[in-house]
Amino acid sequence: METLSTSRAYGGTQGVYRHASEATGTDMIFSVFVPPHEKGQTLPVLWYLSGLTCTHANVTDKGEYRRSCAEAGIVFVAPDTSPRGEGVPDDPAGAYDFGQGAGFYLDATEAPFATNYRMWRYVTEELPMSVGAAFPVDMARQGITGHSMGGHGALTIGLTLPDRFRSISAFAPIVAPSQVPWGQKALGGYLGEDRAAWRRHDAVALIEDGARVAELLVDQGDADQFLAEQLRPELLQDACAEAAIDLTLRIQPGYDHSYHFISTFMADHVRWHAERLRR
């Protein structure tokens, strides 16, 4: 692991790191904020998955999580959204919603993407192993959150691995990718036309198929330009009601899809996770 930068913040350390990933076959960059702590102490960890076009840098620069993480004593980890670099296949038309910057937190099975686009394995196996070895984290106390495509990733990973993640939240998530244009393009391109495989990467479908967690927190702006066509939180609300999952869905008036929205409610999410990770 190579340290690219470190900065002091709220008594802790904000770092950016690079390592060679076996999962993606590329170098991957991620950021970690470690709050102030006693020597030898291990801390709960909150994973943040970013949305389309983003890298680790978007939330690191604009997420405004460090004060609340320092107060709560939570390590905050932000990976990239896809493999990148020369030789990594991309959307042939250069679109923003597929290929580099749009890995959708799954392991692709379709050529030419299957070689590098193994973001499920990277986020759930390889990166946690690297972070656990290098930082003072308590892997028995993990939470996960994310925005948009990353909210989709947080929900699907949390629902699939409920024994690992004590807390799951999301900002404006793509809750049912099988039913919306962003998701249909990505799932078809990465996984092919077998819709049974799509269901394993669709939060609403996972709940319909029996996945269960105690509770979820979702914030959604009602001025989000993607709300009606791509995000559709009402589908998650209906699925959770049917499954008796305690969903707190907060519709925030006037907020859009940007980091102005995310940063406004980030502290709420950090505190919500902290309460559950302390139990």
Strand locations in 199-253, DSSP E? 215-221, 246-252
CA nearest to 232, candidates 189, 181, 192: 181
Taking the C-alpha atoms of residue 154 and residue 195, their distance in angstroms, rounded to an integer, is 21
For this structure, is 178 an active site residue? no
CB-CB contact of 105 with 201 (8 Å): yes
Which residue out of 56, 147, 152, 257 is catalytically annotated? 257
Which residue out of 148, 167, 201, 273 is catalytically annotated? 148
Q: Given the DSSP bridges, would you call strands 12-20 and 27-34 parallel, antiparallel or unpaired?
A: antiparallel
Strand locations in 36-157, DSSP E? 43-49, 75-78, 137-146
Which residue out of 152, 224, 269, 273 is catalytically annotated? 224
For this structure, is 61 an active site residue? no
Taking the C-alpha atoms of residue 225 and residue 260, their distance in angstroms, rounded to an integer, is 14
Provide the Cα torsion 204, 155, 146, 122; round to 10°: -120
For this structure, is 224 an active site residue? yes
Burial label for 44, CB within 10 Å (0-12, 13-18, 19+), is buried
Taking the C-alpha atoms of residue 71 and residue 89, their distance in angstroms, rounded to an integer, is 41
Active site amino acids: 148, 224, 257
